């Protein structure tokens, strides 16, 4: 920065001088003649820039004092030396003064100014001056790719980028970078890149963007878009309407009329769209039955460049380096409903869990149902959707061990929908509140506005089950009412508007009763309400299923220890799984629960006739469930047994074979087992068209995949669960890999290490002390090897902490030394050289007896080297006498590790390297239960099974007279 910033400030100086001379001329033009500038200089400092000389002089920081010095120098230069082109023409004194002023004005904020202040002085001096005097210079910075790629000190790059960000707060900064450097900046400085350059990120879309010569919107198109935006006020419903039209697809008028984000009267939508068409921002398609609107190239530029997520118009001079301006891009042509992006700036939550927990207070400053969003460009709305959806293995129930945070307000739940996959995340709060949160989310105004829309369902629900409608010669209302068993859906609600009003009223009434009855002793009223909530949830999941949307529900339990320690609480949780999961099932167009478990005659009459296909006798589930929390997988057997109890509740006619019914199969799976993580890595690799091996041999490819998964287990596993890795963390790491620069088509250990290095510090080697993992992450983040002082400063740890842990990390070869110009520097490797999976025979660093890390006199076999390393750095006599040839985790070595805390915390790191392939799934004890079981309710019908015939009846007023959706026992209350 000391090289390029002075040149930039020197180039900016003539403009700054003209700006000050104009200020002087406006306030006291005589000063330009008599040159007594002190009063006007003081006025500029105090009235315009806010420096109070009476009160603050003694408390000014170095940055503030240097900014004051800058202003005083600038005024003096502008008044006394304005016409001077060559200081050699001046007398000696004035030459020295002129040169001194030039130096002050071109070194501010570089660390070489009058008070050696940093970037803050730049912000408080020249940048604030131009901001307050309403001047916006245009600066073009050409970043030299070779210089940036060969930076030996990452801190230099960080400071340079911070300075560019400061310039961008007022100046119109145009960055000129090569594609290769753009990718390098994104990989090496992701937070800065996300905040300042990722404005129109379209991920993997095939969106056609308005192109200029450099692939960006042309200057003329940008100007035209800005001019068009001047006709839209921020209070205008037209602006909100424009912001709700997707950038790469169309939206029907009928959907826009139902969208609560648009927030305009339905009758005015058409008129507003016509206004936007007149401005050239929108195209209207009038060819179909329903008019639809899409953005023109001009409209797309306007939305992406100048409209903020909260429907403000931002000036183009601010947009170049403004953070988080555009709604989340839509990766595919399927259903995508973006969250509003982060507007909290750098002080917002920094990790995925921090972001999830920061709900706000529902009903005061936040909604009860919120779109899921995230803290960065990688963990944006789409990234967070992928992260938390990774816990689901398949339809059914998946259990995930995860250290999750408590929501600020447990009443809040999150929605996220991309590519026709809906994720609902809610915090466990007991059976009744949790059912209320799920019903409120699935049928919220947000869901109805963006997902269950008229265009998806049909104005009279004709868009769902259309093939079945034609085949059965029945209308959509009958199929939904008597087949899917959608509740609160009489003939009067067979049009979309009527149904939405009705279901909205039922939802609101039920949620009101949740608040009234949560702590009530009225068992009858609570039971009735739970029956209604189950009916709402089952109706919602049936409707989503019929509409082609996959539903995943994540129930978050932040404190599983408290749950299992209280028998009543645990029983409530297990009953919730028992009674709620089986209700979300379907066979063709028929409610699975009504076919298999319902035993009330009045309800059984309200069914359409069906046949069970012997070739496909298994129901589908209309929702998948993810239960996450610390030690959640310990409840695998309990949840399985709870759901199995429903087998005893089969309707008698089905149980004795008099009536055939399809089988309900509910998988209960672990989401963090070896096989689950392996499948997740393969899934992400396949999505990116990456391979996990360079060779064509299937066995070798499997070995390479196992090597990658072992690395996840070793870094993310815990002492009591070394064979587990949280799938949410794995997905986050893989998302970072997808964002990194790849010049090849194979995922390697180095890539996995890079992805893991981007996880929060506390997620890495979680049994180690936090200071040790901070030290490790600092080295993982560094582009080159770094030394002691830089590690201490960057990791923000004490010298004693550094001394305490540097050798411990080195003992495992997870970090290794480099001797550079007589100084020891360190670098990190998440897979040490001695692991059986590595193809190395010696350390990454050159063997050097002086380092004390590896001694050539040690035996060269891997097992002996490991033990010798440990005896070098651990003062443990028993360990020194324990020499195990061909070391591997077994009873003897495990007992040795259990005796010492300093060893015990490294057990998963060692176990993941040496465990046999078969042990990876079973765990260290070798007795772990299967990671996937299936609960089966019912049995496959035989060829002679009787088939009941059902009486078709007309819709009665019974369902309209009471809220309860026909459903039987719902709770043990």
pLDDT of the residue at 698: 46
What six digits make up the tokens of 396? 């059914």
Residue 767 has phi, psi (to 5 degrees) of: -85, -15
Burial class (CB in 10 A: 0-12, 13-18, 19+), 41: buried
Burial class (CB in 10 A: 0-12, 13-18, 19+), 355: buried
pLDDT of the residue at 956: 32
Which residues in the chain show pLDDT less than 70? 53-59, 85, 149, 152-155, 179-180, 183, 187, 190-191, 198-216, 315-349, 465-473, 689, 693-703, 740-745, 844-893, 896, 926-929, 940-973
pLDDT of the residue at 342: 34
Q: Which residues contact 20 (CB under 8 A, 6 or more apart)?
A: 44, 74, 75, 78, 129
**Angle between helices 297-306 and 219-229 in degrees, nearest 10:** 80
pTM for this prediction: 0.71
Q: Ramachandran region of residue 398, left (φ > 0), alpha (ψ -120 to 50) or beta?
A: beta
pLDDT of the residue at 948: 37
Q: How far apart are CA 167 and CA 182, in angstroms?
A: 19
The secondary element (H helix, E strand) that includes residue 290 is: none
pLDDT of the residue at 659: 84
- Neighbouring C-beta atoms of residue 404, cutoff 10 Å: 25
398 DSSP β-pair partners: 626, 669
């Amino acid at each position: 920065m000391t090289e390029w910033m002075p040149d930039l400030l020197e180039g900016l100086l003539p403009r700054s001088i003209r700006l000050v001379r104009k200020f002087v001329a406006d306030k006291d033009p005589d000063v330009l003649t008599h040159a007594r500038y002190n009063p006007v200089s003081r006025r500029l400092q105090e009235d315009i820039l806010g420096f109070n000389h009476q009160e603050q002089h003694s408390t000014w920081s170095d940055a503030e004092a240097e900014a004051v010095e800058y202003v005083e120098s600038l005024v003096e230069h502008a008044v006394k030396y304005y016409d001077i082109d060559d200081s050699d023409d001046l007398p000696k004194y004035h030459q020295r003064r002129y040169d001194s002023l030039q130096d002050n004005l071109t070194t501010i904020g570089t660390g070489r100014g009058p008070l050696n202040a940093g970037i803050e002085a730049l912000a408080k001096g020249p940048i604030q001056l131009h901001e307050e005097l309403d001047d916006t210079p245009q600066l073009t910075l050409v970043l030299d790719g070779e210089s940036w790629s060969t930076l030996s000190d990452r801190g230099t790059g960080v400071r340079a980028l911070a300075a560019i960000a400061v310039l961008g707060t007022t100046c119109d900064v145009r960055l000129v970078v090569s594609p290769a450097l753009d990718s390098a900046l994104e990989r090496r400085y992701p937070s800065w890149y996300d905040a300042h350059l990722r404005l129109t990120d379209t991920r993997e879309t095939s969106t056609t963007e308005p192109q200029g010569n450099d692939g960006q919107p042309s200057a003329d198109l940008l100007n035209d878009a800005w001019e068009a935006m001047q006709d839209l006020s921020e209070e205008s419903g037209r602006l909100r309407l424009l912001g709700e039209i997707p950038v790469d697809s169309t939206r029907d008028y009928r959907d826009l009329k139902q969208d609560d984000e648009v927030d305009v009267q339905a009758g005015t939508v058409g008129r507003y769209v016509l206004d936007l068409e007149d401005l050239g921002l929108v195209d209207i398609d009038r060819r179909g039955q329903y008019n639809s609107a899409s953005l023109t190239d001009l409209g797309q530029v306007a939305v992406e460049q100048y409209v903020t997520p909260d429907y403000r118009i931002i000036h183009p001079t601010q947009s170049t380096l403004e953070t988080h301006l555009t709604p989340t891009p839509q990766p595919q042509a399927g259903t995508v409903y973006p969250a509003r992006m982060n507007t909290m700036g750098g002080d917002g939550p920094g990790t995925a869990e921090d972001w999830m927990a920061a709900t706000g207070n529902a009903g005061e400053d936040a909604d009860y149902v919120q779109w899921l969003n995230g803290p960065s460009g990688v963990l944006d709305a789409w990234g967070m959707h992928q992260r938390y959806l990774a816990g689901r293995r398949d339809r059914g129930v998946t259990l995930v061990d995860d250290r999750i945070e408590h929501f600020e307000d447990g009443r809040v739940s999150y929605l996220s929908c991309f590519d026709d996959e809906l994720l609902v995340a809610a915090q466990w709060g007991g059976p009744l509140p949790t059912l209320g949160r799920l019903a409120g989310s699935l049928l919220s105004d947000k869901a109805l506005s963006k997902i269950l829309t008229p265009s998806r369902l049909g104005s009279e629900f004709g868009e769902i089950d259309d093939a079945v409608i034609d085949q059965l010669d029945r209308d959509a209302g009958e199929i939904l009412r008597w087949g899917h068993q959608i509740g609160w859906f009489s003939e009067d609600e067979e049009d979309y508007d009527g149904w939405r009003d009705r279901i909205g009223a039922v939802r609101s009434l039920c949620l009101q009763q949740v608040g009234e009855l949560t702590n009530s002793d009225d068992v009858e009223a609570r039971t009735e309400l739970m029956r209604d909530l189950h009916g709402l949830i089952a109706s919602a999941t049936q409707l989503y299923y019929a509409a082609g949307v996959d539903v995943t529900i994540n129930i978050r339990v932040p404190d599983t220890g408290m749950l299992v320690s209280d028998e009543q609480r645990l029983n409530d949780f297990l009953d919730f799984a028992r009674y709620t999961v089986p209700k979300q099932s379907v066979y063709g167009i028929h409610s699975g629960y009504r076919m298999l478990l319902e035993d009330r005659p009045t309800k059984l009459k309200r069914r359409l006739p069906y046949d069970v296909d012997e070739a496909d006798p298994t129901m589908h589930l209309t929702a998948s469930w993810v239960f996450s929390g610390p030690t959640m997988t310990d409840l695998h057997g309990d949840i399985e047994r709870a759901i199995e109890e429903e087998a005893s509740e089969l309707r008698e006619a089905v149980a004795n074979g008099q009536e055939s019914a399809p089988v309900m199969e509910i998988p209960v799976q672990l989401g963090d087992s070896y096989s689950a993580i392996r499948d997740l890595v393969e899934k992400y690799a396949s999505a990116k068209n990456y391979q996990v091996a360079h060779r064509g041999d299937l066995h070798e490819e499997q070995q390479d995949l196992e090597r990658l998964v072992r690395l996840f287990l070793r870094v993310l596993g815990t002492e009591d669960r070394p064979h587990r890795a949280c799938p949410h963390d794995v997905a986050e790491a893989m998302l970072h890999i997808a964002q990194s620069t790849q010049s090849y088509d194979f995922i390697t250990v180095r890539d996995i290490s890079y992805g893991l290095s981007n996880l929060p510090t506390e997620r890495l080697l979680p049994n180690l002390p936090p200071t040790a993992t901070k030290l490790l992450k600092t080295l993982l983040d560094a582009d080159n090897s770094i030394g002691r002082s830089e590690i201490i400063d960057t990791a923000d740890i004490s010298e004693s902490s550094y001394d305490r842990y540097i050798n411990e990390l080195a003992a495992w070869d997870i970090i290794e030394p480099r001797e550079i110009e007589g100084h020891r520097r360190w670098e990190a490797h998440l897979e040490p050289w001695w692991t059986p999976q590595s193809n190395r025979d010696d350390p990454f660093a050159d063997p050097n007896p002086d380092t004390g890390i590896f001694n050539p006199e040690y035996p060269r076999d891997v097992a002996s080297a490991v033990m010798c390393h440990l005896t070098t750095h651990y003062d443990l006599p028993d360990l020194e006498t324990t020499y195990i040839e061909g070391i591997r985790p077994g009873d003897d070595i495990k007992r040795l590790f259990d005796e010492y805390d300093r060893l015990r915390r490294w057990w998963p790191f060692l176990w993941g390297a040496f465990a046999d392939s078969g042990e990876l799934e079973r765990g260290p004890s070798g007795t772990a239960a299967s990671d996937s079981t299936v609960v089966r309710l019912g049995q496959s019908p035989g060829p002679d099974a009787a088939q009941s015939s059902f009486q078709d009846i007309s819709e009665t007023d019974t369902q309209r007279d009471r809220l309860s959706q026909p459903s039987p026992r719902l709770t043990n209350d």
